[in-house]
Structure 1
Amino acid sequence: MKVIVTGSTGLVGSSLVRQCIASDHITRVVALSRKPLEHVQSPKLTVILHDDFSVYPPELIAQLTGAEGCLWAIGGRASQFPDLDTYKRVQVDYALAAATAFRDQLAPQLPEGKQFRFVFCSGKFAEWDQSKPLHFMADTRRVKGQVEQGLCGIADADTTKRFVVYCARPSGILPADASLAARLSGRLYGAIGVDHLAKALIPILLEGSKERIIENEALLSL
């Protein structure tokens, strides 16, 4: 299986690249990245430098043809961005542009019976109701909810049902080298290790899921 990974220089994306390379079921990993990937080498891995994640020109689509899924890990928390508009552009606009391009141009080229699975790394407590009062992490939760809702709408508009979306909602994500104190405090809010999260997302990519929205508790059990 050929897969696309985004956010591959970040915490989650870099782990996804490593776990995809390690999977016997994944034969090719295409990392879309603004920067070269350092310290990762594999005959399975192709890195495509791509500056503008809002556009997918024909020459890029040609390189992605044959992919059966995408692990989307671009984003983060609103507090990590200079302002809300920038956050929305990166989190919402980029994801929806990619999903639309992959639905319209990659999914139809797959063999009959195959589906293109778009797996979005969202966040716990993502909120679809944009007018609902929220008492903590309001911008992050609303924006992630907006992405989820938009992605599901893109999938629902595909009458062929060859493009499907799954949204994973991890709680706090612990790096592999998290301190003992961070791990202990993480138990209070159901934090998940980044490698555990990456390993949980891969079977969703490969096989799908009964649920379109995969909550943190389900991810911890995978």
Structure 2
Amino acid sequence: MTFKILLSGVTGRIGSQVLHQALRNPSVSSVIALSRRAIPDLEGCKKVEVVLLDDFTRYSDEVLSKLSGADGCIWCMTTTAGDSMLELEYPKAFADAFASTMVNDTKRFRYLHISGAMVERDQTRTLWLKSSMRKIKGQGELQMIDFSRNNERWETIIARPGMVVQRGSLVGEASMMVAGSSGSFIRFDELAVALVDVVINGSDELLLPQVLLERGQRLMRDAGENQRQFT
């Protein structure tokens, strides 16, 4: 099996981990990393190509030719600030641009959109905590789901991870010990390996925190067992 993945947000904390796991996955044949700046650490890595974009609302014919033929995308460009440009305009511009390359394509393209555990799609609901951010992210989810409903060859999956923590850190491991089993917290590597697996193999349309945690931990456990068998 070969799988060409597009990634955004590759210099962020989640995106960089997703890139790392994608490069390790034998089913991934190539990775196109969309970035504003060069990534020196990736120079010489034949499996990845960094495509530089100054403006994530514009995709030239040259850029689209590099994206063409991809099997899936993990959209990691997100923040906790609720920036409408980042949450709404950038992913929609990407979808419109990439869809133009799918005219003669018979396969389905799988788009995985990273959101958040407390996101709210109902724009009329009164929220007491981070209302604007949660609703903007909710708009982003609905926007990309609507896009898939209007394009039969496009599949949208929404991932809502809990709080993402660093493996081995004192705070992170304490958080996992206290509330990790509920999905409220997830380690970066567990989330990343789950996301790569989802974009390759698919899932339900909405991935809630506990499902992501269980999937990530199972994959990490299986990978560790396989590694021990060959050592």
Aligned to 1:175, which of 166, 186, 192? Answer: 166
- Equivalent residue of 1:70, what SS? strand
Q: Aligned partners of 1:28 and 1:109: how far apart in 2? A: 21
Deviation at 1:182, TM superposition (A): 3.1
Match of 1:81 in 2: none
Aligned to 2:94, which of 49, 73, 98? Answer: 98
Deviation at 1:150, TM superposition (A): 0.2
Deviation at 1:185, TM superposition (A): 2.9
Match of 2:202 in 1: 208
Give per-residue Cα distances to partners, 1:2-48, cap 9 Å, x unaligned.
11000000001101111111011110000000011132352101001
- Equivalent residue of 2:40, what SS? coil
> What are structure 2's unaligned runs of at least 5 residues?
216-231
Q: Aligned partners of 1:141 and 1:199: how far apart in 2? A: 25
Aligned to 1:219, which of 203, 212, 215? Answer: 212
Q: Aligned partners of 1:126 and 1:212: how far apart in 2? A: 15
Q: Aligned partners of 1:58 and 1:198: how far apart in 2? A: 30
Aligned 1:41-190 pairs, distance under 5 A? 41=43, 42-78=45-81, 87-102=83-98, 104-110=99-105, 112=106, 114-158=107-151, 161-176=152-167, 179-186=169-176, 187-188=178-179, 190=184
Percent of aligned pairs sharing the same letter: 30
Q: Which has the larger radius of gyration?
A: 2
1:109–1:194 Cα change, 3 Å: farther
Q: Which amino acid in 2 is paired with 1:92? A: L
Q: Aligned partners of 1:149 and 1:28: how far apart in 2? A: 29
Give per-residue Cα distances to partners, 1:171-202, cap 9 Å, x unaligned.
1111345x223321354372111111110011
Q: Aligned partners of 1:22 and 1:131: how far apart in 2? A: 43
Aligned to 1:22, which of 24, 45, 48? Answer: 24
Q: Aligned partners of 2:5 and 2:122: how far apart in 1? A: 32
- Does the aligned pair in 2 maintain the 1:171–1:216 contact within 8 Å? yes
Q: Aligned partners of 2:57 and 2:111: how far apart in 1? A: 16
For this pair of structures, how many residues does the alignment match?
A: 208
1:194 matched to 2:188: yes
For structure 1, which segment, 45-54 or 182-191, has the greater mean C-alpha deviation from structure 2 after superposition? 182-191
- Equivalent residue of 1:27, what SS? strand
Q: Aligned partners of 1:181 and 1:64: how far apart in 2? A: 39
- Equivalent residue of 2:41, what SS? coil
Aligned to 1:12, which of 11, 14, 21? Answer: 14
Q: Aligned partners of 1:17 and 1:106: how far apart in 2? A: 23
- Does the aligned pair in 1 maintain the 2:172–2:187 contact within 8 Å? no
> What are structure 1's unaligned runs of at least 5 residues?
79-83
Q: Aligned partners of 1:196 and 1:40: how far apart in 2? A: 22
What's the TM-score once normalised by structure 1's chain length?
0.88
RMSD after superposition: 1.6
- Equivalent residue of 2:42, what SS? coil
For structure 1, which segment, 145-154 or 179-188, has the greater mean C-alpha deviation from structure 2 after superposition? 179-188
Q: Which amino acid in 2 is paired with 1:106? A: T
